[in-house]
Structure 1
């Protein structure tokens, strides 16, 4: 009878140690992000809307030159099947900038881009956050058949710098595979 409390305590301790060890195995080691990049996945910070939640990432200043966050998600059936992403007005409408703030102003005309076999447009913005601080944001709208992959990246640096680090990450093999799988419904 006296052994039951000891057995119970030993089982609980073993379970706790195993849980901590398992958690340490699934977490990327310090200094290593998504598949060897500087980007770390973070929780999707936005409330639910008509589209599924996407994936959110953070890149620190030591690796990306500044603190940068990127949010990407598919919008299935939300693209003109014939023309794809036709103009900057479409980027303004679909790139999820409004999830961060309703106050964004384009910096200049966007540009045609191609990432992972998808074509579309990217455009830079000045973004006034709800707390009054200003950030730079770049919206990406990429089409594949009748579907969209949208991404928005925000930081405090130049639009060109923010766009460069985001474009490199979006063009990585792992992100390209995820984007295509997400557009295929996977």
Structure 2
């Protein structure tokens, strides 16, 4: 009987320890500066309509991304070079939507990116416009055949390289990909 009681106490202790460790692993930590998965909420498109039309806007709050980030997405049907896509920084600069935000200057060379099955380029810029909503931005342009998507992330600090992976991750998410598929007619 004592042996059975000892086994039961050991099993209950082990089960409690296991439950506590699993709870510790899966409960969010409010003390962390950023969450593992940023929360992007759709916000109103703030720009006037131009030949490319209205796009989609999303915001990631500082509590989720470490700094407030606003992302603007637009499809540009038939604008991309069907054979080469977004081949270099000149293509990226020409096809991107940095013009929506004012005067910018590149912080360096761009680099290739991949979002789902689509290829493109990404490049960081300093934002010079007075009254601009951020200090830097990341322009990401990627294409599906002759159609492309221009994504512009406005960032409230001068370290865009820290935010770019979160932007790329969101662009490959089901939310952004569903919009891209519907908009591009895929």
Same fold, TM-score > 0.5, yes or no:
yes
* 1:10-49 map, 5 Å: 38-49=39-50
CA 1:148 to 1:132, structure 2 compared with 1: closer, same or farther past 3 Å? Answer: closer
Question: What is the CA deviation profile of residues 5-24 of structure 1, one whole-angstrom value per residue up to 9, with x for unaligned ones?
Answer: xxxxxxxxxxxxxxxxxxxx
CA 1:118 to 1:133, structure 2 compared with 1: closer, same or farther past 3 Å? Answer: closer
Q: Secondary structure at 1:82's aligned position in 2? A: coil
Give the equivalent residue in structure 1 for 2:115.
Answer: 115
Establish whether residue 170 from structure 1 lines up as the match of residue 171 from structure 2: yes
- Unaligned runs of 5+ residues in structure 1 are 1-35
Q: Secondary structure at 1:166's aligned position in 2? A: helix
Give the equivalent residue in structure 1 for 2:91.
Answer: 90
Q: Using the alignment, how far apart are the partners of 2:176 and 2:86 within structure 1?
A: 20
Give the equivalent residue in structure 2 for 1:5.
Answer: none
CA 1:135 to 1:54, structure 2 compared with 1: closer, same or farther past 3 Å? Answer: same
On the 8 A contact 1:108/1:124 being kept in 2, the answer is yes
Give the equivalent residue in structure 2 for 1:130.
Answer: 130
CA 1:64 to 1:127, structure 2 compared with 1: closer, same or farther past 3 Å? Answer: same
Question: What is the CA deviation profile of residues 14-48 of structure 1, one whole-angstrom value per residue up to 9, with x for unaligned ones?
Answer: xxxxxxxxxxxxxxxxxxxxxx9511111100011
CA 1:108 to 1:53, structure 2 compared with 1: closer, same or farther past 3 Å? Answer: same
On the 8 A contact 2:70/2:154 being kept in 1, the answer is yes
CA 1:38 to 1:145, structure 2 compared with 1: closer, same or farther past 3 Å? Answer: same
Q: TM-score, normalising length from structure 2?
A: 0.75
CA 1:183 to 1:86, structure 2 compared with 1: closer, same or farther past 3 Å? Answer: same
Pairwise CA distance, 1:162: 2.2
Question: What is the CA deviation profile of residues 70-116 of structure 1, one whole-angstrom value per residue up to 9, with x for unaligned ones?
Answer: 00010000010100111101111221111011x10001110100002
CA 1:161 to 1:74, structure 2 compared with 1: closer, same or farther past 3 Å? Answer: same
Give the equivalent residue in structure 2 for 1:155.
Answer: 155
Question: What is the CA deviation profile of residues 133-186 of structure 1, one whole-angstrom value per residue up to 9, with x for unaligned ones?
Answer: 86110001101110011100011231112212211111112211211221117x
Establish whether residue 142 from structure 1 lines up as the match of residue 142 from structure 2: yes
When the two chains are superposed, the root-mean-square deviation of aligned CA atoms in Å is 1.7
Give the equivalent residue in structure 2 for 1:72.
Answer: 73
For this pair of structures, how many residues does the alignment match?
149
Q: Using the alignment, how far apart are the partners of 1:133 and 1:70 within structure 2?
A: 11
On the 8 A contact 1:129/1:135 being kept in 2, the answer is no
